Amino acid sequence: MPRLVYVVDDEKPMRELVAMQLSLQGIESRTFSNGYDVISTLQQEVTRPDVLLVDLMMPGMDGLTLLRTMRELAENVPVVILTGHGSIKSAVEAMKLGAADFMTKPVDGPRLEITLRNALERTALRNEVGRLSRQVEHQTDFTDLIGTSEKMQRLFSQLRRAAGSDITVCLQGASGTGKELMARAIHDNSSRREAPFIVVDCGAIPPNLIESTLFGHERGAFTGATEKRVGKFKEADGGTVFLDEIGELELPAQTRLLRVLQEREVEPIGSNRATKVNVRLVTATHRNLSEMVKLGTFREDLYYRIHVLPIFVPALEDRRSDIPALAQHFTARLCAQENIPQKVLTKAAVEWLVSQPWPGNVRQLENHIHRAVIMTDSDRIDVTDLNPDAPEQGGNIFDVFNTYPPDSLPTLDLLQEAYTAHVVSRMSGNLTRAAQVLGIGRTTLYRHLGADAQKSDAGA
């Protein structure tokens, strides 16, 4: 069910009746006597209602006119038309124009509850179908990026300018802030949109395989090279290569990448012939590349090649005002994706989400809501649904060791190995993310996991 509903009706008794019925269902409402005030409010305020209940017959701006305006102003907000028995034909016309549903007056509570739920579900499903269609057709739109804060609006402006050019872009920000989605939006709104968009996670590929992955290799070029391989740069010819976590590249791979950017050609490993490639490069990193240059771990000449247009992506804690919109977006989208009835976050749940640190940023927020969507039986997601594993007040993570005899306490090495394995499991085997959570490098992570870890990673 929705959290906030706008009720628009020129008759005060009707507005008050509907608002009272919404209140009995635990739903907050705001009432308006005309469409002009609604438009003014939507233009001035960041917060969006979950549903609009709009009277069809009103003086000045009628319901159909407001509906048309809403399609331009807040397309994702479902509109339910309120109509008298004599106006059914007009209500059907409103449905053709995009209304989510219509109700005949007088409005009764049970019917209102069903109508609101159906409106939310249809809208969420339509939005999810649209998002998936754009994804399949490589048409990620900037409207797929959620954020109304000043920082995000400034970021979106930079991304749009970048999309209109062929300039090399470097997205800088913490892990989980949505850099890959932004890179895809740049590509899908650029002149290269019909060509491939190739993603390479530099931190997820073992150092001994990264050059072969990027630039290709000939058959027999090295042990295990049983077939010729076309590298990612050649695969993306005419399109865009997105190098995620470029700061993880070791110096030999950096040198080969620099040559590709300078000469606009690639030479596969084991070949003495270079072939021309026409690609746009977009990179991303959570590291401070300028500091890496000072330390000698990142080539200065490569730094200036990729740092033509640096764009900083803020962490979620630096744009907390966007969390309510993000949370509601994820809730609606994930319910549609999982094919379950729409659920709504309570006001307390949203406040709890805003108060959390979210070191994993937007990705962590989405995963947290995904779990709540799946595990919550009610149509309302509350704080207890979002935080089911919270320890009892006064609890301590070390309390478990009080059950061990003093001479049987686990060693530090054993705890380190067990916790490292636990984090890797929580990150679904993604060693790059696990290393970031643990605050260590991949080499150290391999050492903690044991000698077979790197071999396993290389074979993945």
Q: Which residue has the higher pLDDT, 228 or 86?
A: 228
Mean pLDDT value of segment 181-187? 95
pLDDT tens per residue across span 254-281: 999 999 999 999 988 888 888 999 999 9
- Identify whether residues 77 and 180 lie together within a single domain: no
Query: Which CATH number is 39's domain given?
Result: 3.40.50.2300
The pLDDT of residue 133: 62
- Are 190 and 166 spatial neighbours (Cβ–Cβ below 8 Å)? yes
On whether both 249 and 382 belong to a single domain, the answer is no
Question: Measuring CA to CA, which residue among 78, 101, 77 is closest to residue 88?
Answer: 101
pTM over 0.85: no
Label residue 162 by pLDDT band (50, 70, 90): very high
Q: Are residues 241 and 298 in the same domain?
A: yes
Range of lowest pLDDT (164-168, 331-335, 420-424): 420-424
Q: Are 200 and 242 within 8 A, CB to CB?
A: yes
Average pLDDT value for residue range 212-223:
83
User: What is residue 440's predicted lDDT score, i.e. its pLDDT?
Assistant: 79
Instruction: Note whether residue 395 is domain-resident.
Output: no
**pLDDT tier for residue 134 given thresholds of 50, 70 and 90:** low
Residue 363 in any domain: the answer is yes
- In the predicted structure, residue 359 carries a pLDDT above the cut 60: yes
Distance CA 340, CA 419 (A): 35
Among 76, 102, 134, residue at a domain's last position: 134
State how far the Cα of 243 lies from the Cα of 274, in Å rounded to an integer. Answer: 21
Residues 121 and 152 in one domain: no
Residue 345: CATH number of its domain: 1.10.8.60
Of 109, 134, 159, the last residue of a domain is: 134
125 and 241 share one domain = no
- Using 50, 70 and 90 to split pLDDT, how confident is the model at 249? very high
Per the domain annotation, does 328 fall within a domain? Answer: yes
357 and 416 assigned to the same domain: no
Min mean pLDDT across 27-41, 124-138, 228-242, 351-365 is at: 124-138
* Residue 316 three-state SS: helix
58 or 221, which is more confident?
A: 58
pLDDT of residue 199: 96
Query: Which residues form the domain of 358?
Result: 317-386
Both 307 and 171 in a single domain? Answer: yes
> What is the phi-psi region of residue 264: left when phi exceeds 0, alpha when psi lies from -120 to 50, beta otherwise?
left
Please indicate, yes or no, whether residues 351 and 419 belong to a single structural domain of this protein: no
Residues 184 and 296 in one domain: yes
Crossing angle for the helix pair 109-136 and 323-337, to the nearest 10 degrees: 90
Q: Which secondary-structure segment (H or E) carries 7?
A: strand 4-8
How far apart CA 99 and CA 93 sit, in angstroms, is 9
Structural domain contains residue 394: no
Task: For the chain, give the percent of residues with pLDDT over 90.
Answer: 44
In a domain, 220, yes or no: yes
pLDDT at 347: 85
Judge if 324 and 307 occupy the same domain: no
Q: Are residues 128 and 26 in the same domain?
A: yes
pLDDT averaged over the chain? 85
Residue 385 to residue 388: CA distance in whole angstroms = 6
pLDDT at position 393:
39
pLDDT band at 395 (very low <50, low <70, confident <90, very high): very low
Domain boundary among 254, 281, 314: 314
- What CA–CA distances, in Å, run from 45 to 5, 40, 84, 146, 227? 15, 9, 31, 16, 59
Indicate whether 329 pLDDT > 90.
no
Residue 382 domain-assigned?
yes
> Does 392 fall in a domain?
no
Same domain, 278 and 324: no
- Whether 391 is covered by a domain: the verdict is no
Question: How many domains does the chain fold into?
Answer: 4
Q: How confident is the model at residue 362 (pLDDT cuts 50, 70, 90)?
A: very high
Provide the pLDDT confidence category of residue 43 given band limits of 50, 70 and 90.
confident
**DSSP letter assigned to residue 269:** B
CATH code, domain carrying 227: 3.40.50.300
* Rounded CA separation 220/234 (Å): 19
The pLDDT score that the predictor gives to residue 389 is: 59
| pLDDT of the residue at 325 | 86
pLDDT tens figures, 416-451 = 777 787 788 777 777 777 777 777 777 777 777 764
Is pLDDT above 90 for 182? yes
Residue 368 pLDDT greater than 80, yes or no: yes
Higher-confidence residue of 234 and 49: namely: 234
